[in-house]
Structures are given as C-alpha cells and as structure tokens.
Structure 1
C-alpha cells in the first residue's frame, strides 16, 4: 500500500522487487529516474556494468548470497546515493563520500576500507569487520573518524578472541562520538564500560535526564559487559520489546557502581554467571524499578531475588517477564515482607533448574500477581506445592485470574498445585 501511494507522487519513484527470486538485475530502463531501489533477498549473480540513475538515493541489496562481486564502475553514476545496505555482501565502497546509512554485517569489508565515509549517520557492522585487512592496517583510530555517527551497532561473530584484546581501545574511540543517539556494543570489561560512561558526552546528556527510562528516547542502548562465549555474547533479546534499553552482564563479581548506574536506565536486564551476591536486590531496588524484563542464569550464589526487609515502596513496578535458570542456591523469589503494588504487572514467570527452590509464592506474593498469564516451573527438585497455604493465608479460590498457561515438568516432590486443588 505504501508503495502504491508513493508511486502516485510525481516526485517519488521506486523500484521494489524484494524476494522475487531474481537471478538477473532489472533492465537499465527500469533504473532510470528512480529515487529508491530494493532488490533484497533475491538470487542475483551480477549487476549491470553501467547505469543511468543519477537520482538514486537508496539502494537495498542485502542478502543476495550469490552476488560475490559488484562491477568496478557500478557506483559511477549514482553519486547522490545516501543509503546503501550490503548486509551479506562483499564490495568496495570507499568512494561513496556522501553515504549516510551503511550496513556491512556479514561482508568482507574492513572498517579500514570505509574509513573515508565520514558523513555516515548510521553504521551497522560485525566484529569481523574490525579484524579484516592486512596485518599492517591499524584498526584503531577509524571509529573516531565517523564524527557524524548517530547510530552504531556491532554484531558479535567469530572474531571474539580479537575483540578480547582490542575492545577496550574501540570503546575509548566510541566514547568520543558526540552525536550518538543509539549504541549496540559489547564492553569486554566493567572498566571499559566505566570509561565510556564517564567520558561519552552523549551518555552524560542522557544520564542527567530526569525523565523515566521508558519515556527518554534521546539515547538508546544494548550493552553486553564481560564475555564467555558467542552464545552469551548475543545482546539480550527483549522478547516482543526490541526497542528497549538492554544490559547483559556476564561473568561479573560483586556490586559495581557503574553497573548500578546503567541499570537505572535499563528496560531489559540479563545477569549471567555472576558471583559475590546473594540477592539481586543488592544492585539497588531503585535501580531496577524501570525494568520490564529480568533474566538470571547461572548465578549460583543467589539465594533470593528480592529481600523485602526495610522496603517502603513497591518493587518491580513495571516488570513483565522474570526468567530464572540454573540458579543452584535459589531458595525463594522474595524474602521478607512484600510491599503492596510490587510486581503487579508480571505476566510471565519461568523457573528452570533451581534445585533448592522450595516456595514460589511466599509471604502473600500471589496477591500481587493478578496479571500473571504464564507460569513455568521445571526441574526444581524441592518444590512440593505451587501455592503454599502456610505462606498465603486467607486466599480466595479465584487467585491468578489471568493464568492461561501452567507448565510443570520434572518436579519429583510435587504433590499439589494448591492445598485443596481449587485453582481455577
């Protein structure tokens, strides 16, 4: 519909043939006087040697896996090109001086080859794009040359070992980019993150904002801190909320102020293989009140998620998803009194392989979970009851009114869902 409407405008012409199985490019006449062209997801083997399309500003060629080379003079007549997507393609494009948006993930281009594209506003790349090229090509210094960059995204791939030794240098360069409004980045250490937070003018302007995290779109981020393997290094998936600020902290230890500071601006938090804390709330209750998603995995010293002692306001006010996996010492989700209004928006609760967990809805927590839709409990050996009468006195039969899915797997001691099996 959008294309049809656009075609009715005299000043806007498009050529759009995505996913049509094309093996040959459209004929030269179709390229003339066109402003935007999309040939993504086809089977192109080649492109035209020379074209007459001086008005072209957007060209999308991503994921044409059979297109292994672009003709030498292909870009000669498209000098006004501003948006080029080559995701999944190899090519040489350093002559496109006015290019503003570039995606080179999965290509053989090196960062060194595109260093002259200083007008770029959006750059999406992979780690391997840093390491490509001859050994004499210095990869450092190239990021800071993109002074107009607003969006910078780096995907993790097979160059993880190279990144471990060079990521801190790149982080220092990223911190110099004054116009950043969106960043996807993997900080190899907490120290690298700390340097960025303390040095980046873009982050400083964002952090001093008093707007709630879900309202402030002046800067968005997806951060991973620390590393273990490629699986852990995938930026935290935000389920159906891909636009949220995400923080994944891997193989850390103790409480670091910079993590707490970033956490205060985070919507989706993943804590993996962390040591030195027995409660998630040790990171600061006030720093987690804007969380929509929380995922905890392999943190074998955590015994409870929230310690409610001394809390005088609601906790996890906006939390929708809570995923806990392979937390071997976890005994409870909540310890101590539960402040009214806590976790009232929780919709999904997943508990996997927590062998010491004895109770789920402790201290009247079930009364806060009126929005819960999906409960999954698996391989929690000490669970005997899902809803314990001793922990939830005076409950009416219509608890968990919105529950749609209840999954209980490999719970050898489970004898009842509720003491009188009246869960409806």
Structure 2
C-alpha cells in the first residue's frame, strides 16, 4: 500500500505503530483518536515526510519525539534572535554551535532586556534514575540565569560566552575536561550555584596556576559561588591544585562531594581560610578519604576550623580516621551526622566550645566505641540519635 494517503486507526486497541506503517511514504493524514493503549510515539514517524495531519486526540501520549525539535531548532533559534525586547527565554540547544546565533560576546548579552534564561546545551539522554537529587535540581532551578551543558567535550567558546552571564551552571558528562577552572575564572565570577558530575577526566575543581596566569587581579576566581555539588567524579583528586588565592570560595555556604573514589582529603591548611562562610558540608561515598583536613604543616595559631559551619554529614567513608587533624570544630556547629565511618574513633568537639551542638546521628555500635577527651560519651547521650 505505498500509495496510501489517509489512514484512520482511531478507537482501535493497538499499543504501538507497526514498522510497516513507516514505509507509507505518501501518507498525508494519520488518525489515532482515542487509541487508549498508545503511550509513546516512535521517532520514526518523522520518516513520513508527506504527513500533514497527525491526530492524537484521546491518546495517552504525553511527549513528542525529541527528534522533532532537533530538526527545527536552528530555524527557531534564528527567529528568536529577531525578538529585540525579549525578557524571558528557555531553550534546549541540541548542538553547541546553535549558541552562535545568539551573538553574545564576553561583555554583552544578545538581548539587552533579557533578565531570565534557562539554556540546556548538548545531547540529552533520558535516564530511569537521576543521579542529581530533587533538592539539587530545585537549587539550580531557582536561579534566573541557568546554563546546563551535557554530554559535551572540552570548553567551547560559545559555552564560555553564555557562562559569563550565568548565575547557575550544571555540567554533566563532559568527556575531556580536567579542571572546572578550564572554563575561565572571569567567565564564572557571577556564578552562585555550580553542580558538576560524571566528568571522568576531571582531577581538580580549581587550578591555582590558572589564576596566576589569567590576571594579577586578586578578585579573580569563584568569588560569588554559594552552592557547589560535585558527584560521581571517578578521577577527582583534589578541590584545589596549585597556588591558593584569597578570594575563591569566600561566599560558599553549601558544599557536597559525593562518590569521588580517588579523593583522599578535602582541605589543606592554606585552603581552610577560603571556606570561612561554609555552613553545610556533606561528603558521601568517598572510600579513600582519611581526613578532611591535611594538617601536617598547620599554623599552630589555628585552634578551630570552618567558623560558620552548622551542619556536617559524613556517610560511607570507611577509611576516615580524623575529621580535622586535632583541631576543634567551630562553635556554630548544630548537627553532625555519620554513617559507616567505622574507623573514626573521636569527634573534634567539646562541651566548652560547641554549646550550639544539638544532635549527633550515627550507628549505636559506632557511638559506643568513640573515645572522648575530658568527658564521657554519656555526657553527650542527650543529643545522640541512633540510626540503626
């Protein structure tokens, strides 16, 4: 039936379109009204080049194939760029090169009136289980200028141009980048939220040598960043690599490191001062971490760390033996949560210094094995919450 032009399958019990249908190259009208069992539409429907009418009324189909957008994205973006008074823009760019239509440069956006944008760039792959929590997604979505770059390679110039005007950045599955700072410090000065994961070649978040080579300006760096979530980085070895400047991370309030199997330590003595405003620290499933602070050469004048910290969660760190290399946690601390940190035998807290501490969570067996200086664990029993 290659000459067939009209096909009406309405109110039938079909569950999917047969392969033979996509060979009806002269088909112009296809009716699937009230086919209740059809829930998805194959992307092969795009092979029906002569199709003029596709009626899906009464079906359970919620989404059309993404290929439909991929084929028309360039034409649509070109038309969008003619809207001189555009205020809000949310677009999926299947290819990085489509960003070039925006004609953004380092200093100015393509649309002077644009105050709200959400861009997703790269080939999207649907996954049954997301590795990003709902809380993290909500944090990203609350920002007015949000760039999401997925399944990419390297650091394209057009990505850097958009990044320079963004306040939130989500980097997922970049196959070649070795440091997040490769995107350029000047392009990340406005960032308040940074989420990155599954970049298998990434070894460090920051390259200190890049700061020195990029500018003598001491404010260059992640100066506005308030929220950072790093996950599933199989080769991440350090947060900071090379010389440390005084401005990066000064505004950071929330830090999460999750499933970084090669990470052995988090803070160096010199880096600690940069995290003076950190309020929440979460580290999970980093099996090689032995201590959060490597203090072999600590300044003896330092008596406590992370002065603004209120909540710390350390889960599934089997080799962790020390949190702060003998230094006390700051007096603002309110909550400590531990799970499967079996080699951690003491906590860097004291009754005199940590008067705001109201809850310690952990396994009962681990709690009973803890060693305390000057106090007995019974004196902390009123704030301990077992998780067994």
Q: Same fold (TM over 0.5)?
A: yes
Deviations 1:261-313 (A, max 9, x none): 11100000010000222111111111001100001011111110111115342
Deviation at 1:243, TM superposition (A): 4.2
CA distance in 2, matches of 1:194, 1:348: 34
Deviations 1:14-72 (A, max 9, x none): xxxxxxxxxxxxxxxxxxxxxxxxxxxxxxxxxxxxxxxxxxxxxxxxxxxxxxxxxxx
Q: 2:103 aligns with which of 186, 190, 197?
A: 197
Determine the structure 1 residue equivalent to 2:51: 135
2:184 maps to 1:268: no
Q: 1:228 aligns with which of 110, 124, 141?
A: 124
Q: 1:396 aligns with which of 284, 291, 302?
A: 302
Determine the structure 1 residue equivalent to 2:361: none
Deviates more, 1:409-418 or 1:383-392: 383-392
- The structure-2 alpha-carbon separation of the partners of 1:273 and 1:157, relative to structure 1 and needing over 3 Å to count, comes to farther
Determine the structure 1 residue equivalent to 2:41: none
2:316 maps to 1:410: yes
CA distance in 2, matches of 1:288, 1:295: 13
2:162 maps to 1:252: no
Deviation at 1:186, TM superposition (A): 0.6
Contact persistence 1:351–1:376 (CA under 8 A): yes
CA distance in 1, matches of 2:187, 2:249: 15
Contact persistence 1:225–1:248 (CA under 8 A): yes
CA distance in 2, matches of 1:420, 1:277: 36
Contact persistence 1:280–1:306 (CA under 8 A): yes
Contact persistence 1:246–1:269 (CA under 8 A): yes
CA distance in 1, matches of 2:148, 2:297: 33
Deviations 1:181-240 (A, max 9, x none): 1101111110111223369xx94243xxxxxxxxxx7432110001323468x9994618
Contact persistence 2:179–2:203 (CA under 8 A): yes
> Is the partner of 1:385 in helix, strand or coil?
coil
CA distance in 2, matches of 1:400, 1:246: 29
- The structure-2 alpha-carbon separation of the partners of 1:282 and 1:329, relative to structure 1 and needing over 3 Å to count, comes to same
CA distance in 2, matches of 1:366, 1:241: 29
Unaligned runs of 5+ in 1: 1-107, 109-130, 139-155, 207-216
TM-score scaled by length of structure 1 = 0.57
TM-score scaled by length of structure 2 = 0.62
Written as runs of structure 1 = structure 2, the 5 A alignment for 1:56-95 is none
CA distance in 1, matches of 2:257, 2:111: 38
Deviations 1:93-126 (A, max 9, x none): xxxxxxxxxxxxxxx9xxxxxxxxxxxxxxxxxx
- The structure-2 alpha-carbon separation of the partners of 1:262 and 1:363, relative to structure 1 and needing over 3 Å to count, comes to farther
CA distance in 2, matches of 1:240, 1:324: 13
Contact persistence 2:104–2:161 (CA under 8 A): no
CA distance in 2, matches of 1:180, 1:414: 52
Contact persistence 1:358–1:384 (CA under 8 A): yes
CA distance in 2, matches of 1:341, 1:198: 27
- The structure-2 alpha-carbon separation of the partners of 1:244 and 1:397, relative to structure 1 and needing over 3 Å to count, comes to farther
- The structure-2 alpha-carbon separation of the partners of 1:240 and 1:251, relative to structure 1 and needing over 3 Å to count, comes to closer
Determine the structure 2 residue equivalent to 1:371: 277
Deviations 1:109-167 (A, max 9, x none): xxxxxxxxxxxxxxxxxxxxxx9xx93169xxxxxxxxxxxxxxxxx955323223332
Determine the structure 2 residue equivalent to 1:182: 88
2:72 maps to 1:171: no
- The structure-2 alpha-carbon separation of the partners of 1:182 and 1:395, relative to structure 1 and needing over 3 Å to count, comes to farther
CA distance in 2, matches of 1:408, 1:225: 33
2:189 maps to 1:289: yes
CA distance in 2, matches of 1:359, 1:157: 45
CA distance in 2, matches of 1:317, 1:274: 24
> Is the partner of 2:282 in helix, strand or coil?
strand
Q: 1:339 aligns with which of 232, 235, 245?
A: 245
CA distance in 2, matches of 1:374, 1:336: 25
CA distance in 2, matches of 1:338, 1:272: 26
